């Protein structure tokens, strides 16, 4: 990912994930009282602020781990096809 996408993509992911997770966790914790929407939006505002920072902090380590897993999977797939140990 390059350019503006390096900023926009993690921000959009943080928005979606924090929105969904805060709604689900709020519903599980408090049910659906009359002020549910207000409470959810308050929880989401806090969650989104944290999630944006977390995505930028975790982005490079997650990319590194992903690349290692894919390399390991590809090596094991090749070993099964060729019959050689990985």
Residue (of 81, 21, 14) closest to 53 by Cα position:
14
Residue (of 36, 18, 38, 19) closest to 28 by Cα position:
36
User: Would you put residue 31 in left (φ > 0), alpha (ψ -120 to 50) or beta?
Assistant: left
Choice between 18 and 1, residue whose per-residue pLDDT is larger: 18
Domains in the chain, number? 1
pLDDT tens-digit series, residues 25-43: 999 999 999 999 999 999 9
Q: In terms of residue numbers, what domain contains 64?
A: 5-82
pLDDT at position 86: 58
Strands (E), the chain: none
């Amino acid at each position: 990912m390059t350019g503006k996408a390096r900023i926009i993509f993690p921000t959009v992911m943080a928005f979606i994930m924090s929105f969904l997770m805060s709604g689900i966790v709020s519903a599980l914790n408090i049910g659906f009282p009359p002020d549910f929407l207000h409470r959810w939006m308050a929880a989401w505002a806090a969650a989104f602020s944290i999630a944006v920072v977390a995505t930028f902090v975790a982005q490079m380590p997650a990319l590194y781990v992903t690349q290692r897993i894919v390399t390991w999977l590809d090596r094991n797939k090749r070993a099964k096809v060729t019959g050689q140990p990985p």
